[in-house]
Structure 1
Amino acid sequence: MDPVNILCVKWGTKYGPEYVNKLHSMVQRNMSRPYRFVCLTDDETGIDPAIETFALPPIGIPEFDAATGWTRLHGWLKVTVFAVPLYDLTGPTLFLDVDIVITGALDEFFDPPGDFIVIKEWDKRDETGNTSVFRFTAGAHAALIADLAKSLDTVQRDYRNEQEFVTSWFSRQGKISYWPKSWCVSFKRHCMHRGIMGFFKPARIPEGAKVVVFHGKPNPPDAIIGRSGKWYRRVLPVDWVRELWR
């Protein structure tokens, strides 16, 4: 069986190297097929030497090549994973955000057919996906970068963030599909108990979940100690995050 790719991006100072190292460890415990684990980063300090690291690839757009990203909006540089070539990576590639907790086997993410498979954004009715977990073929989507380069100002005006542009682009190509709903869940929306029950019961893992996405606040280390990060949301300490995020 040919190896597949597991890919993540870390740049700037929002997430330290421990996020990459813990992600690598979680993947090791939840993948049975052969794979390469690769991190694209602007600073490999503290990242486990067992992890393959490459610099964020240049894509010919000055704002991105200078690692400033969406200069007027969000600064994430995940769109650089669509660079062609993407170093020596080819074939099926599963992108994972570094601030997730893996709760089940990942092998099945490589089974469904499709050009671009992503989480369906939970609070949107349109085609928007959440790019915390998506699969694509490395080196196969040069047109996305070309379209972004020739219309950067328009894109920045029309799209609130990077994932909206990426999922809209694949939707217009007729190449988007979505993971089964149970596979990727939101910590805030699906794991935490609603209303007053959140004051008495800690967050749980929904049945069938393979990945828990931490978007906004709290982050995994916050959930471990019961820190919400928001005055209006109570989070009790979550033992399963402590056990799995390592």
Structure 2
Amino acid sequence: MTNFYCLKWGTKYNRLYVNRLFKSLKKHYNNPFNFTCLTDNSTGIDPDIKIESIPDDFSEFPRTQIFTSEKMCYFDRYKHIPGPKAWFDLDILIQNNITDLVDRKKNKVTYIWNYWRNDEAAKINYGYMTTPINSSFVSWQDDVGFDMYERLVRNKEKAFFTYPSYDKYLFYQEHRKNNLDFWEQGIVYNYNIGCKYPDDLNPTEYRSDYKICLFNTSHKKWAKPNETHVELHEAKGWALDMWSSYDRI
């Protein structure tokens, strides 16, 4: 049995994000699955979604350090569950079938590489801890990834002092040791930026052959003039139509 997860806290993303993600997986994943939402407020969430508490393994540190460190806790909390697993950020739009991606055999945890960014940016902007890694759609199996959780626990004081986000921690610690895998190009693109640097950087364009579209807006502070910063619930046209269509599943 496959297991899918999402994380929801606060008020930025409402129940629609959770329910539509769940329905989109019903459409775009072929095999039986469980869907679990880790949240502090389950009001209005589809009753077929399992509700669990948000991990508090690193609650002694401010959330502004290794932001979304809760994601690392998936590898500990669910290490005993066999089979394929994936987590999804709420601000994504699944637009094509992802069965083959999730069901691949994995020896390492698979993350998104930001192909829409210059790979040299991490070197050029080293002092700003730029990262080409994105953890909006991540897949693994069995107890793969538990070793990463253990390393963070052992070095948590130094790690939480140093890194402001989970993705940056991954890039500067786990990636340089060759501990991660990444989805190949052509799987994920960014609604607000594009899909491939430097050849295809047209925001808001629909790429029908891609599997997943991201709507994250973390680039706002340093966005280029042509880049947008639209949240999924603010989108118009094709994106809104597709997202809303999942209500009917």
TM superposition shift of 1:244: 3.2
Q: 1:91 to 1:168 in 2, by over 3 A?
A: farther
After superposition, where does 1:39-188 map in structure 2 within 5 Å?
39-59=37-57, 61-63=58-60, 69-70=63-64, 72=65, 74=67, 77-83=70-76, 85-86=77-78, 89-114=81-106, 115-122=108-115, 123=117, 125=119, 128-188=132-192
After superposition, where does 1:227-238 map in structure 2 within 5 Å?
238=237
User: Are residues 1:239 and 2:248 paired?
Assistant: no
Q: Secondary structure at the match of 1:146?
A: helix
CA contact (8 A) 1:57 1:86 kept: no
Structure 1 gap ranges (5+) = 192-197, 225-237
Tell me which amino acid in the other structure corresponds to 1:69.
Answer: R
CA distance in 1, matches of 2:40, 2:79: 15
CA distance in 2, matches of 1:112, 1:91: 10
Q: Secondary structure at the match of 1:77?
A: helix
Match of 1:209?
210
User: C-alpha offsets along residues 102-157 of structure 1, whole Å, 9 cap, x if unaligned?
Assistant: 11001021244432111102325267421011112254433323322232232234
User: C-alpha offsets along residues 59-96 of structure 1, whole Å, 9 cap, x if unaligned?
Assistant: 3x3436xxx534x463563222222x328643221111
Structure 2 gap ranges (5+) = 123-130, 196-201, 218-228
CA contact (8 A) 2:114 2:133 kept: yes
TM superposition shift of 1:18: 1.4
User: C-alpha offsets along residues 24-48 of structure 1, whole Å, 9 cap, x if unaligned?
Assistant: 0111111111211111112212211
Return the TM-score normalized by structure 1. 0.76
Q: 1:17 to 1:104 in 2, by over 3 A?
A: same
Q: Secondary structure at the match of 1:110?
A: helix
Tell me which amino acid in the other structure corresponds to 1:222.
Answer: E
Q: 1:174 to 1:167 in 2, by over 3 A?
A: same
TM superposition shift of 1:214: 0.5
CA distance in 2, matches of 1:124, 1:145: 29
TM superposition shift of 1:23: 0.5
Return the TM-score normalized by structure 2. 0.75
TM superposition shift of 1:211: 0.5
Match of 2:225?
none
CA contact (8 A) 1:119 1:179 kept: yes
Q: Secondary structure at the match of 2:216?
A: coil
TM superposition shift of 1:222: 0.6
CA contact (8 A) 1:101 1:241 kept: no
Q: Secondary structure at the match of 2:22?
A: helix
Q: 1:88 to 1:49 in 2, by over 3 A?
A: farther
| RMSD (CA atoms) | 2.8
CA contact (8 A) 2:80 2:142 kept: no
